[in-house]
Every structure is written in C-alpha cells, then in structure tokens.
Amino acid sequence: MAGSRNRDDFCYRHPRAESFVLCQRCGKTICPECQIQAAVGFHCPDCAGVKKSGGLGGLFRRGSSGSVSVGTRPSATYVLLGIIVAVYAGQLLSGGLLTQLFLYWPPLTAIEPWRMVTTIFVHSQSSVFHILFNGYSLFILGTLVERLIGPGRFVTLFLLSGFGGSVLVSLLSPTSAVVGASGAIFGLFGALFVIQRSFGGANTQLLIVLGLNLVMGFIVPGISWQAHIGGLITGAIVANIMVRTRGEDPKRQRQGLGLVGLGLVALTVLGVVV
C-alpha cells in the first residue's frame, strides 16, 4: 500500500516543495528557498519581515482574492506599549494617585468593576523592572502574535486575557491588590501555544520559557501567580476559538469570543456573591 504524504511536511509557500525544517518563531514548514538564517535555526519570510502573501503568517486575515496576508507593522502592540508607558508616567507625576484609581482590589469589584481591566496598564512604582520586564515581553510576544491574528483580534485577546487574570485573582486571592500586564502577557503565551499547535509547530522552546515564568510566580514574592494562570487559560481558550473558526463566518467567531467574555463576567459575579 502506498503511504500517504503529510501536507505539514511541505513548505507553506511552495506546496510542492517537501521540507522538514520549521521556522523557529512560528513553526511553519519552510523549504530552502524560504529559509532565512537566524541566530538560532531559520525563520520564515513572514517572521523575518519579508512582505509577501499566500502563507500561514496571516493566519486569520484573508484578502479579497482568498490569499492570506500578514502585516509587517504590529501597530496595536506599539499602541498598547505607548499607553502603558504614558500611564506609568502619569503614576509617577501624580504621586501614585493614578495607581490607586486603576489598580485592581477584589473588594471593589461590585462598585468599580472596570478596575479588572485598567489594572493591566498600571505597574509597580517601587521597581522600574516591573514595567521594563512586562514591556519587553509585550514587545516580543505582541509583535509575533499580532502578525498572526491581526490588530483587532490581538487587542481582544490581550484585554480578555488580562480580564481573565483578574477574575482568578478575585476567586483565589480576594484580599490582594494587583497591578501589571503580566496576566494579559501570559494570555499571549497561551495563544501562541495553541496557534503553533494548530499547524503542527514545535512548542518545546515555548513551553520551557512558559514553564520558567510560571515557576517564578510561585517562588518570587509579590508576584500574582493567580493572574498569570488566569490569563494563560483565557488566552488559550480565545486562541482556540479563533483557530477553529478561521475561514468561517466571522459572526461565529465573534459569538464565541462573546461567550468567553460572558463567562468571565459570570465568574466575576460568582466571586462577588460568594
């Protein structure tokens, strides 16, 4: 019996070119013509910033001709970074007033629920490394994930993940005040894992980095592991919906994401009542 050929073993840009080399960043199969030397391994043209279409780089964006395209400028990531920096400057200039207005403290959930999202944009004033680490992580992960799913879906993913982190804080650590974008950033980790798995990408390096960051949340004082896990789970769920509904009626995807939001709201209400 003749063996069947696995389509994942063929270049995403040249379907007839068999290859077993994967892009180190996104996991797509790339033939010698598409392999761009990186510091470690190879990158595909999309991840290397080469402006072309027809591959999996723009995983959820399709042009009128049906071809898949990828943007080379992750504008939403830059806007989010700009907001975080501007808010941090406001925190310092206001003597901490902005921090008190935007941070999330579970006992205030019933009267000021918006704090569950605004807390994403404020960071610790006692250590500049908090905003530097989160800002760098957002730049690295954000530029990659946004190129895969587009700016609108990226912002939705980021905000829902941050919200999910706050929800788990409210349920598991109801007396803790939290600040920072780490819950949303862990959501990007979860989303990237799901997206890479969807097209057979290797996740070993990602899992190592993710595991190390999760462990830090348990052993380093002052870090909210609840926000990390809540964001990670939410990001993975959101990305799974995006992956499963790509190429279908956009309304179905919006409905799925809406259900995630409603689920988080329901858990929030549960935390308030209990």
Mean pLDDT by 10 residues, the chain (274 residues): 54 80 82 71 73 39 38 83 97 95 96 97 93 94 90 96 97 95 96 85 75 80 90 96 84 94 96 85
Extents of the domains making up the chain: 75-273
> Would you state the structure tokens that stand for residue 66, as one six-digit string?
């049906």
137, 182, 198, 224: the active-site residue: 182
CB 69 within 8 A of CB 60: no
Burial class of residue 129, CB neighbours in 10 A (0-12, 13-18, 19+): exposed
Position 4 scores a pLDDT of 40
Residue 161 a catalytic site member: no
> Would you state the structure tokens that stand for residue 1, as one six-digit string?
């019996």
Position 41 scores a pLDDT of 64
The three state secondary structure string of the chain is CCCCCCHHHECCCCCCCECCCECCCCCCECCCCCCEECCCCEECCCCCCCCCECCCCCCCCECCCCCEECCCCCHHHHHHHHHHHHHHHHHHHCCCHHHHHHCECHHHCCCCCCHHHHHHHCCCCCCHHHHHHHHHHHHHHHHHHHHHHCHHHHHHHHHHHHHHHHHHHHHHCCCCCECCCHHHHHHHHHHHHHHHHHCCCCCHHHHHHHHHHHHHHHHCCCCCHHHHHHHHHHHHHHHHHHHHHCCCCHHHHHHHHHHHHHHHHHHHHHHHHC
Residue 182 a catalytic site member: yes
Position 237 scores a pLDDT of 97
Position 64 scores a pLDDT of 36
The CATH number of domain 75-273, selected from 1.10.3470.10, 3.50.50.60, 1.20.1540.10, 3.40.1190.20:
1.20.1540.10
Query: Could you give the CA distance from residue 43 to residue 181 in angstroms, rounded to a whole number?
Result: 28
Position 51 scores a pLDDT of 40
